[in-house]
């Protein structure tokens, strides 16, 4: 490949030794030179490709540090209920899909949010009226609850005498009959009988969603999903069709198998790499299943629930961390976060025995949404990555005020206190729970406002970040989390040539307009993977 010269506009490198440059040279998939236009041209080999920014702006490629990639891709093929503000509208969308399906096919969908429907949970009976005998399963916006119709309940064998699984709940009416709502680990009772998509469908879903990500400047993705995703990513990689660098977090259920095989965090290369083992510590705020130290506002008994017994969590952390595997643990409630930090601290205090292999990658907490202030400094003290999704703050601010209230919301989505305490922040989207667009997240991180500009001063704006800090959490923080900071995280000689051309300079744009930032070109390893036409 010939050298590539990029020049003609500001280059924000995120390299503290050289934050701003005039020109950059790419050679053999890496940055070869950065600096003034004159100095950089002296490094060029003959026959180079010339890319003029023409006043546009170059920044390092962005990372989504928490995206459910296959789920997002497949979800684009199903009923989309995201943002639907009434149950009647949701039912009409479901009806329109059901009438298109062949007999016996499943109606699938995602994104419903009963907090937009007056906090009234939908029922199987309501779903029955619009699904015409098709089995139906639709996941809530946060993925922690599913809504089934009567046919799906029947196929799953869920009845009045079906016991709640550990860490899960079958919602029931006053007669003890299932209503059609399953929460947390009870979801598995339904998903295990839903026919999986084909390999070809998975491949197309991943191609499509990675292109969506590239179009918004994403060059790397951290993916907590199941085995089908890893298998499909490998197919795309072998075919030369994997257009984003992927860190894949292993599902917890197969932990013993990974250990037996000698699989460790960091296996792979700079395109596809193994991360940690993904463990669920609790549920979600919207489903009132995140595990809290004090009850939710308006309740004296509902603390949410853990989705894994505490002794099992401690054992899992110890087993993984002594066999070279980092842990990547979902924790939203303040009690769940404390329990995870306690488990990691207990493991760090345990003297390593003979043959112990410590993980290359740091441990992480996914979401870290609601924290007790006493636990904020523990992230840095225990080298735990705070993998957070800024857009959750602006999506959830009303429900957070209602369910948490008072002082607790001052420690919700607490990016600034975590950063000041020395924690490494790695930002993502949690798509399809939210949009995979990183600029929506950057806007939320900087303004603490929704895209409609509300609330005017930002929701608890004292917890917001500067643009520089937010970009760091989308570029450098994820590289630290994946143990790739030696070759990712800024535009400097020797670093991977992952970059994004923007239509405007985010450092001079109005913070309120960041969510509308135009991406003109996305480059992975010196290769253009997306370009505006």
Residues 470 and 494 placed together within one structural domain of the fold: yes
Cross-strand partners of 343: none
Q: Tens digits of per-residue pLDDT, 204-262?
A: 999 999 999 999 999 999 999 999 999 999 999 999 999 999 999 999 999 999 999 99
Given a cut of 90, is residue 144 above it in pLDDT? no
Query: Quick one: pLDDT at residue 115?
Result: 85
Asked if 449 contacts 441 with a C-beta cutoff of 8 angstroms, the reply is no
Q: Which residues, at least 6 apart from 124, have a Cβ–Cβ distance to it below 8 Å?
A: 147, 148, 149, 150, 152, 153, 178, 179, 180
Residues 26 and 141 placed together within one structural domain of the fold: no
Calpha distance 443→427 (Å, rounded): 12
| Helix and strand element counts for the chain (H, E) | 16, 22
- Which structural domain range is residue 173 located in? 107-191
Given a cut of 90, is residue 60 above it in pLDDT? yes
Residues 356 and 481 placed together within one structural domain of the fold: yes
* Phi, psi (rounded to 5 degrees) for 30: -125, 165
> What is the layout of strands, in order, in the sheet containing 79-80?
79-80, 107-112, 136-140, 145-148, 178-184, 168-172
Residues 209 and 187 placed together within one structural domain of the fold: no
Q: Which of 344, 421, 354, 423 is nearest to 388 (CA)?
A: 423
Query: Quick one: pLDDT at residue 367?
Result: 98
Query: Quick one: pLDDT at residue 203?
Result: 97
Query: Quick one: pLDDT at residue 81?
Result: 92
Query: Quick one: pLDDT at residue 232?
Result: 98
Residues 272 and 354 placed together within one structural domain of the fold: yes
* Percentage with pLDDT > 70 across the chain: 100
Q: Which three-class secondary structure state does DSSP give residue 380?
A: helix
Q: Which of 421, 264, 293, 485 is nearest to 356 (CA)?
A: 264
Residues 180 and 207 placed together within one structural domain of the fold: no
Q: What is the mean pLDDT of the chain?
A: 96
Q: Tens digits of per-residue pLDDT, 308-328?
A: 999 999 999 999 999 999 999
Asked if 68 contacts 21 with a C-beta cutoff of 8 angstroms, the reply is no
Q: Tens digits of per-residue pLDDT, 479-497?
A: 999 999 999 999 999 999 9
Residues 394 and 281 placed together within one structural domain of the fold: yes
> What is the layout of strands, in order, in the sheet containing 327-331?
62-64, 218-224, 245-251, 272-280, 327-331, 364-367, 385-388, 425-427
Q: Which range is least confidently modeled, 126-135, 137-146, 169-178, 212-221?
A: 137-146
Surface-to-core class of residue 451, CB atoms within 10 Å of its CB (0-12 exposed, 13-18 middle, 19+ buried) = middle
pLDDT interval class at 513 (50, 70, 90): very high
Calpha distance 38→42 (Å, rounded): 7
Q: Which range is least confidently modeled, 20-34, 58-72, 101-115, 420-434?
A: 101-115
Instruction: Let me know if residue 40 belongs to a domain.
Output: yes
Asked if 491 contacts 14 with a C-beta cutoff of 8 angstroms, the reply is yes
Total number of domains constituting the chain: 3
Calpha distance 155→137 (Å, rounded): 11
Number of neighbouring beta carbons within 10 Å of residue 80: 16
Query: Quick one: pLDDT at residue 480?
Result: 99
Residue 471, domain CATH: 3.20.20.140
Query: Quick one: pLDDT at residue 353?
Result: 81
Helix (H) or strand (E) holding 246: strand 245-251
Instruction: Let me know if residue 179 belongs to a domain.
Output: yes
pLDDT interval class at 141 (50, 70, 90): confident
Query: Quick one: pLDDT at residue 286?
Result: 87
Residues 147 and 219 placed together within one structural domain of the fold: no
Instruction: Let me know if residue 185 belongs to a domain.
Output: yes
Residues 404 and 305 placed together within one structural domain of the fold: yes
Residues 158 and 231 placed together within one structural domain of the fold: no
Given a cut of 90, is residue 355 above it in pLDDT? no
Q: Tens digits of per-residue pLDDT, 274-302?
A: 999 999 999 999 889 999 999 999 899 99
Given a cut of 90, is residue 154 above it in pLDDT? yes
Residue 134, domain CATH: 3.10.310.70
Residues 168 and 210 placed together within one structural domain of the fold: no
Q: Tens digits of per-residue pLDDT, 80-103?
A: 898 899 999 999 999 999 999 999
Of 191, 215, 232, which closes a domain?
A: 191
**pTM, 2 dp:** 0.90
Given a cut of 90, is residue 142 above it in pLDDT? no
Query: Quick one: pLDDT at residue 352?
Result: 82
Residues 334 and 391 placed together within one structural domain of the fold: yes
Q: Which of 56, 61, 62 is nearest to 509 (CA)?
A: 56
Work out the average pLDDT over 64-90. 92
Query: Quick one: pLDDT at residue 445?
Result: 99
Q: Judging by DSSP bridges, how do beta strands 20-27 and 30-35 pair with one another?
A: antiparallel
Calpha distance 67→200 (Å, rounded): 21
Q: Which three-class secondary structure state does DSSP give residue 4?
A: strand
Cα distances (angstroms) measured from residue 116 to each of 166, 288, 326, 402: 29, 15, 37, 13
Calpha distance 11→178 (Å, rounded): 58
DSSP string, 123-153: -HHHHHHHHTT--EEEEETTSSEEEE-HHHH
């Amino acid at each position: 490949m010939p050298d590539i010269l990029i020049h003609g506009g500001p280059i924000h490198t995120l390299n503290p030794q050289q934050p701003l440059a005039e020109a950059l040279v790419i050679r053999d998939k890496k940055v070869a030179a950065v600096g003034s236009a004159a100095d950089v041209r002296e490094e060029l080999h003959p026959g180079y490709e010339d890319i003029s920014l023409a006043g546009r702006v170059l920044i390092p490629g962005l990372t989504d540090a928490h995206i459910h990639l296959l789920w997002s891709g497949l979800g684009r093929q199903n009923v989309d209920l995201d943002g639907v503000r009434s149950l009647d509208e949701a039912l009409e969308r479901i009806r329109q899909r059901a009438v298109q399906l062949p007999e016996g096919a499943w109606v699938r969908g995602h994104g419903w949010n009963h907090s937009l429907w007056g906090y009234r949970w939908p029922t199987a009976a309501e779903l029955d009226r619009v699904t015409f005998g098709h089995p139906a399963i639709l996941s809530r916006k946060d993925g922690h609850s599913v809504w089934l119709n009567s046919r799906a309940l029947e196929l799953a064998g869920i009845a009045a005498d079906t016991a709640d699984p550990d860490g899960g709940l079958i919602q029931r009416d006053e007669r003890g009959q299932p209503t059609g709502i399953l929460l947390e680990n009870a979801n598995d009772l339904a998903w295990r009988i839903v026919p999986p998509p084909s390999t070809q469908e998975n491949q197309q879903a991943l191609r499509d969603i990675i292109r969506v990500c590239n179009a918004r400047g994403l060059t790397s993705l951290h993916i907590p999903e199941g085995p089908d995703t890893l298998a499909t990513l490998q197919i795309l990689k072998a075919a030369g069709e994997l257009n984003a660098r992927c860190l894949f977090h292993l599902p917890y259920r197969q932990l013993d198998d990974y250990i037996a095989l000698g699989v460790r965090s960091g296996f792979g290369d700079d395109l596809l790499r193994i991360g940690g083992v993904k463990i669920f510590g609790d549920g979600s705020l919207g489903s009132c299943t995140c595990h809290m130290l004090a009850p939710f506002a308006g309740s004296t008994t509902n603390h949410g629930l853990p989705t894994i017994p505490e002794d099992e969590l401690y054992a899992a952390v110890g087993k993984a961390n002594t066999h070279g595997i980092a842990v990547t643990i979902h924790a939203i409630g303040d009690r769940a976060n404390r329990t995870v930090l306690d488990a990691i601290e207990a493991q760090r205090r345990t003297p390593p025995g003979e043959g112990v292999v410590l993980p290359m990658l740091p441990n992480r907490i996914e979401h870290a949404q609601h924290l007790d202030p006493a636990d904020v400094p523990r992230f840095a003290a225990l080298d735990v990555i705070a993998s957070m999704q800024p857009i959750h703050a602006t999506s959830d601010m009303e429900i957070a005020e209602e369910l948490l209230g008072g002082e607790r919301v001052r420690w919700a989505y607490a990016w600034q206190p975590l950063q000041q305490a020395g924690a490494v922040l790695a930002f993502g989207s949690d798509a399809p729970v939210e949009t995979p667009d990183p600029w929506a997240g950057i806007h939320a991180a900087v303004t603490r406002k929704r895209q409609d500009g509300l609330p005017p001063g930002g929701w608890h704006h004292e917890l917001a970040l500067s643009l520089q800090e937010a970009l760091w959490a989308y570029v450098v923080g994820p590289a630290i989390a994946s143990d790739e900071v030696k070759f990712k995280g800024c535009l400097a000689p020797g670093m991977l040539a992952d970059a994004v051309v923007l239509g405007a300079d985010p450092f001079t744009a109005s913070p309120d307009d960041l969510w509308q930032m135009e991406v003109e070109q996305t480059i992975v390893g010196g290769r253009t993977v997306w370009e505006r036409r």
